[in-house]
Structure 1
Amino acid sequence: MQHQKPAVGMIGLGIMGSAMSVNLQEAGFSVMGSDPRAGQRRLLKAKLTAVTPRNADLLGHSLLLITSLPSAKALFDVTEELTSAVPSGKRSKKTDRIIVAETSTLTLEDKEEARRRFAEAGIEMLDCPLSGTGAQAIHRDLTVFASGSASAIKTFMPVFKGFSKTQFNVGEFGNGIKTKWVANLLVAIHNISTAEALLFARKLGLDMSSIVDVLADGAGSSRMLQIRGPMMVQRNWRPATMRVGTWKKDMTIIQSAIQALDVPAPLFQAGLPIYAAAMSLGMEEDDTAAVFEVLETMSGTKPVEKSRSKPRLKKGQR
C-alpha cells in the first residue's frame, strides 16, 4: 500500500528554497511556499500548490516546515511569526507536532536561540544544512546534514529524499551546521584552486573548451572543478548558484569558528583576500565562480570571449 506524501511548507523561496520547493512538488508533495518578495512568489506561483507573503499561513497547510533563509535576523523574524500563530491549546498536543527543518548556514549560537524560542511554543526545530550549490539543488544533487531529534529526523526523511541525493543523520543538534562548516571550508579552497588551475591552463595555451572534461576524471578533480569549472571557462557568473555576498557571510562564520578553536587553516586563510577582492570589484550578486575573474585581474590577463562548448570527449579520446 502506497502512503500519501505529506504536505510541506517552504519558508524562503530564494536560490535554494525555490529549487527544493519545485522538486518536492514534482515528487508528489503538496508544497506551499512563503517569501516577502512579490517577484519570487510570481516565479513560483504556477509551480507550487500555493504561495504567500505570510509565513504563518503555512501552518494551515502543513506541520512540516523548511526554512531557507539569508540571515539570523530573517530566522528570528520567522520564529516570532510562527510562535505567535500557534494556538496555546495546540502547543502540547503530540498529534499536532510541528517540525521545522532549518537549512540555512548560520552560527550555532543563532540556531540554538531559534530552537529555544520555537520550543517555548511547542515547535520542534532540526538543524539540517545542505551541501550543494543552487545548480545542484535544481537537479536534486544535494546532501542533507540532519541533526537533532532522531524521531523528528525520521519523520522528515521522506521530505529530505524528495529534494536531495543523500541524507545523513549526523547526531545531536548543531552537528549539522558544524559538518556544513567543514564542507564549506573545502568548497572555499577547491573553488579558488579550480580558478587557479584553469587560468594556468589558459596561460599554457591549452584548449579551454575541453580542459574541464580532460581534468574531471583525473586525480586532481573535485566537485568544484566539475560544477564551477565550466562556468569559469564560459566566464558566466549569472544567474548565481551561490552569490559572492552570501558566501562572504558563510566564510566569516567559518573563520570565527577556526579562530575560536585555534585551528591552523593556511589554505582557507589564503583564500579570504580573493573573496574579499570579488566583493570590492562589485561582484556581490555574481556566482562565486567569479573568483576566476579576480585572478585574471591580479595576473593582468585580458578576458577572452566566452568559449563554445564542445561535445563531451569519450574516455578513449582523452
Structure 2
Amino acid sequence: MDKPRIGFIGVGLMGHGMARNLVEKGFPLTVMGHRNRAPVEDLLSRGAKEAKTPAELATVCDIIFLCVTGATQVEALVRGPEGIAKGAAPGLHIVDCSTSEPTLTMALHAELKAQGIEMCDAPLGGTPVQAAEGALSAMVGAEPAAFEKVRPAIEGFAAKVIHVGGPGAGHTMKLLNNFLSLGYGAIYAEALSIAAKVGVTPQTFDSVIAGGRMDCGFYQTFMKYVLERDVNAHRFTLSNAHKDLRYVNNLANATGAANFVSASVKNIYAAAEGLGRGAWNVPQISDVVAEMNGVSLGEVPQLKAAE
C-alpha cells in the first residue's frame, strides 16, 4: 500500500528530526519554507519537496503535521488567507503537534469537519535528540477513524503513541504534563533559594535529594544546570513555559475548575518573563527566584535579556 503524502510545517529543533524520520522511512514529504533554511535544505537533500504557502501544501498532501509555537500560529496556518483550509480537499488530515489550546483544537475540528477535513492533535513528549532518534511519545486527540489514519505516520517519529481521546484531548494532556514539570521547576527553585538563605549549597541539597523518592528525569536535567551551569541541560525557554501555563489557566477558566496551584506557578514564570528573562531556559528559573530572594546559586552563564 502506498504511504500517505505528508506535509510538514515547522521544521525547527523538534520538527526537523521528526520530518527527517518521515522522509527516511519512505513517506513522500513536502515541507513549507522556514526562516532557518538549513533544516529545509537538509530535508530537500533527502528527497523532500517544498511548498511556499500552507494552502499550496494542502493541495499535495494527505496528512499535514504542524510543529509550531502555539495557538496563535496554528490558527493563522489553518484559517489565514493562504491557510490550509483554503487549499484543502475532503479527506485531508491535519495533526497539530504543537502545545496549543484545546479549545482552539475543538473549534477547528468542528468547522473543518464540515469540509470533510479531520483536525487531530498529537503534542509530544521528549527532546530534539529523541525527535531525531524517532523516540518521541505522542498524546493523540482524534476521532477513532482519524486516529487509525494518522497513526502510521506518527509512528514514523514516535516510539510511544497513545490515543487519549477526541480532538483536544491530546493538548489537554500535554498541558497537564507540562504543568507538572514546570510546577516542579518552581518548587525546586524556591527550595534551593530557601536552602541558600541558611547556607545550604545546591551541591548539599542535591546530595540529599538525588537517588531518593523525589528524584526523576526532570530533576536531573534541572539540577544539571544548577550544579554545572549547563544552559543546554533543558532547552525550553521561560517564555514558552509562561505560554503553556497561560494555556493551563485558560483551560481551567473555560471548564470552571479551581486552579490554585497552576495560577501561582504561572505567575512565577510570568514574573521571570516580565524581568526580561524570557529567553532563558527553564532550569534558570532557579536563578530568577534566587535573585528575588537576594541570594545566588552560582554564576549566571549568560547575560540578562534586558541588558
Specify the TM-score bucket, using the shorter chain as the normaliser.
0.7 to 0.9
**CA–CA separation in structure 1 for the residues paired with 2:263 and 2:38:** 41
Instruction: Provide, for residues 250-276 of structure 1, a one-character-per-residue CA deviation record: whole Å limited to 9, x for no partner.
Output: 211211222444544443333233212
Query: Alpha-carbon deviation of 1:224?
Result: 1.6
Q: Is the Cα–Cα contact under 8 Å of residues 143 and 165 in structure 1 kept in the other structure?
A: yes
Aligned pairs (5 A) from 1:1-318: 5-35=3-33, 37-39=34-36, 41-48=37-44, 49-59=48-58, 61-80=60-79, 81-86=83-88, 91=90, 97-134=91-128, 136-196=130-190, 203-205=199-201, 207=203, 211=206, 215=209, 217-237=211-231, 241-302=235-296, 304-305=298-299
Change (3 A) 1:43 1:200: farther
Asked if structure 2 preserves the Cα contact closer than 8 Å seen for 1:187 and 1:224, the reply is: yes
Deviates more, 1:199-208 or 1:178-187: 199-208
Question: Is contact 1:83–1:118 with CA below 8 Å preserved after alignment?
Answer: yes
Where 2:155 maps in the other structure, the secondary structure is helix
Q: What SS is found at the alignment partner of 1:295?
A: helix
Give the direction of change, closer, same or farther, for the CA distance of 1:124–1:113 in structure 2 (3 Å limit): same
Instruction: Tell me, in whole angstroms, the C-alpha distance in 1 between the residues paired with 2:68 and 2:52.
Output: 14
Change (3 A) 1:31 1:285: farther
Identity %: 23
Moved more, 234-243 or 188-197: 234-243
Q: CA deviation at 1:190?
A: 1.6
CA distance in 2, matches of 1:180, 1:249: 13
In structure 2, how many angstroms separate the alpha carbons of the residues matched to 1:227 and 1:139?
19
Deviation readout 1:187-211 (Å, 9 max, x if unpaired): 2212223334556777524648x94
Going from structure 1 to structure 2, the CA distance change for 1:284 and 1:132 (only over 3 Å counts) comes to same
Deviation at 1:151, TM superposition (A): 1.8
With 25-34 and 144-153 compared, the bigger mean Cα shift is at 25-34
CA distance in 1, matches of 2:278, 2:178: 18
Where does structure 1 lack aligned partners over 5 or more consecutive residues?
92-96, 308-318
Whole-angstrom distance in 2 between the partners of 1:234 and 1:124: 46
Q: Are 2:103 and 2:168, in contact at CA under 8 Å, matched by a contact in 1? A: no
Give distance in 2, aligned partners of 1:247 and 1:155: 32
- Could you list the per-position Cα deviations for residues 71-114 of structure 1 after superposition, in whole angstroms to 9, with x for gaps in the alignment? 4342233224222223xxx53xxxxx211112223333321222
- Does structure 1 conserve the Cα–Cα contact (< 8 Å) formed by 2:287 and 2:300? no
Q: 1:300 to 1:23 in 2, by over 3 A?
A: farther
SS of corresponding position for 1:126? strand
Q: Which range is displaced more, 163-172 or 127-136?
A: 127-136
Q: Aligned residue pairs: how many?
A: 293
The two structures, once aligned, show a CA RMSD in angstroms of: 3.2
Q: Distance in 1 between matches of 2:218 and 2:234?
A: 14
Change (3 A) 1:57 1:270: same
SS at match of 1:162: coil
Deviation digits for residues 223-274 of structure 1 (CA, Å, limit 9, x no counterpart):
3213333233333445973222222122112112224445444433332332
